[in-house]
Structure 1
């Protein structure tokens, strides 16, 4: 861990998704690794004891439904997507009952506050279903992951569908926030025309890695114009163009360039962390020097001293104060 400031707010952690893959996040990290069913392909960095040791206080915890495609098994219809999201919601509630976390912001004796983020909106049946998820604590929704029935997404270009336009309008009416991460460019600007509030919980600059998984400069400016924050994701493929598995891991200095690019566009006060650590990848795909969650704070040492606290916690905390109701 860094001897300086530490990451206190992370806008993207797939906690319940990992639990449903068989990872026991209540274990110390070393013990989790010894019995991790995913260890053969990805070395874990996240467990609740590790997050406590690192100093993390708040995160967006995802409800992430995995679709079926040529690379992975998963849902094929709304019912399957909803079942995955409900199982993850139940997992968060069990952890809350056990004292590992508290759902929603505010004062709590629990060591970690978790705000629910839905990544990929297929679990939602339609606008009439939104109040159910809002009551459950979901305040941020990303309409896409890959393609969903609502929008084009990562590696699957396309606009908002008619159902997507209805959903985003309903999100605006309920004062919910749209997560632009994974949303294709055409779908993004469709949503912008509707006027919904936006963030990007875990996306790096497209100017540095030119794919539709990243955020263009114009998209970044628009997100900030709605009051949103840009969360940086710690995956080597989203930091260095052309990086593939088996290449040397990128450096933390390269990761810092992503922050510097955003800062030149919109100012340091609009940048935070959305690490996505253990979001389907392990240390093998993270910047060199990140071997456990606490190591992520080393990144802060490469930023201007005046910007570190904002990136570490304060910028996302400001967003929560302004947007939670």
Structure 2
């Protein structure tokens, strides 16, 4: 079955020292990232049936946990440029193909290439100098931008309530003019509704249902409907704390049925044709925090067995394929 993943931090992991080209076993033996058992490599994605993913450019701000993160625009931009270079080097090596148009996605899915198709997604907009800098990133292949992660210069985000800033409004207006899709994942409610009023096309590449897990990291029912009204889709995150309210490290890993509960909740709101995958696997967490049964990426198809039979192909990849072939 065709799989398309709406959110993978591939280049971030590579620049953290992880070799995604070789086997997962070799990666785990030499993994420089401690406390997070890796689940993703190119062979794992191929074994699962992933043909396309949204691959991030993610700049990490300086925090207590990440003392080497950026403190200004220049630092954020350099991280994103380094990750862009990593994707291009992978493409030169035949490991992936960067896709920047609906036609390219269609051709890739219709073809027989073993390379992973990657659409570039910027998660957190701090690498962008201002709205006048958008054409540079569009020319580089970025087609989707999430203005926030935590708080950025542009928007309130996860754990950091706030609206779009003046620069954020200009950025979203520029995105709309250039046909760049807004990723609503991580946007605080105030920033989300500011953006919705401006009217860009929206998706939520990796966001679960707030009705099941409270907090501004997740979409309210009204936010999910607003994304759907722009013909957007919503990707499901496979992090136990985002699937089960009150889950903490050390608790039993959540069952796959918790993923199905979020999927069904969204389907009741916006239809099964708008529910997709946005696993975020190895996006700052490892196997220890995945649902039970997901020991590595090749196990992701197991979650489809918990969904209604008629919905499985769409959630697996068909819904993202339709969106990409229509809107990219």
TM class, shorter-length:
over 0.9
CA distance in 2, matches of 1:243, 1:72: 23
Deviation (angstroms), 1:110: 4.5
Identify the residue that residue 228 of structure 2 maps to in structure 1.
224
Deviation (angstroms), 1:45: 0.6
Say which of 183, 188, 191 aligns to 1:187: 191
SS at match of 1:57: strand
CA distance in 1, matches of 2:94, 2:167: 38
SS at match of 2:7: strand
Say which of 154, 160, 163 aligns to 2:164: 160
CA distance in 2, matches of 1:305, 1:169: 40
Does structure 2 retain, via aligned residues, the 8 Å contact 1:102–1:110?
A: no
Question: Please, what TM-score do these two structures have when normalized by structure 1?
Answer: 0.96
Identify the residue that residue 320 of structure 1 maps to in structure 2.
324
Say which of 148, 153, 162 aligns to 1:149: 153
**Aligned: 1:37 with 2:32:** yes
CA distance in 2, matches of 1:314, 1:169: 30
CA distance in 2, matches of 1:227, 1:308: 20
Deviation (angstroms), 1:294: 1.0
CA distance in 1, matches of 2:59, 2:228: 27
Identify the residue that residue 62 of structure 2 maps to in structure 1.
68
SS at match of 2:291: coil
Identify the residue that residue 93 of structure 1 maps to in structure 2.
88
Identify the residue that residue 20 of structure 1 maps to in structure 2.
15
Q: Deviations over 1:237-257 (max 9, x none)?
A: 000011111111100011110
Identify the residue that residue 214 of structure 1 maps to in structure 2.
218
Question: Please, what TM-score do these two structures have when normalized by structure 2?
Answer: 0.96
CA distance in 1, matches of 2:176, 2:114: 31
SS at match of 2:50: coil
Q: Deviations over 1:295-317 (max 9, x none)?
A: 11100001111100000011001
Q: Any unmatched runs of 5+ in structure 2?
A: none
* Count of paired positions: 318
Say which of 235, 240, 243 aligns to 1:239: 243
Q: Deviations over 1:123-179 (max 9, x none)?
A: 000111100100111000000000000000000000000000000000000011000
SS at match of 2:54: strand
Identify the residue that residue 275 of structure 1 maps to in structure 2.
279
Identify the residue that residue 251 of structure 1 maps to in structure 2.
255
Say which of 5, 8, 11 aligns to 2:3: 8
CA distance in 2, matches of 1:169, 1:67: 25
SS at match of 2:281: coil
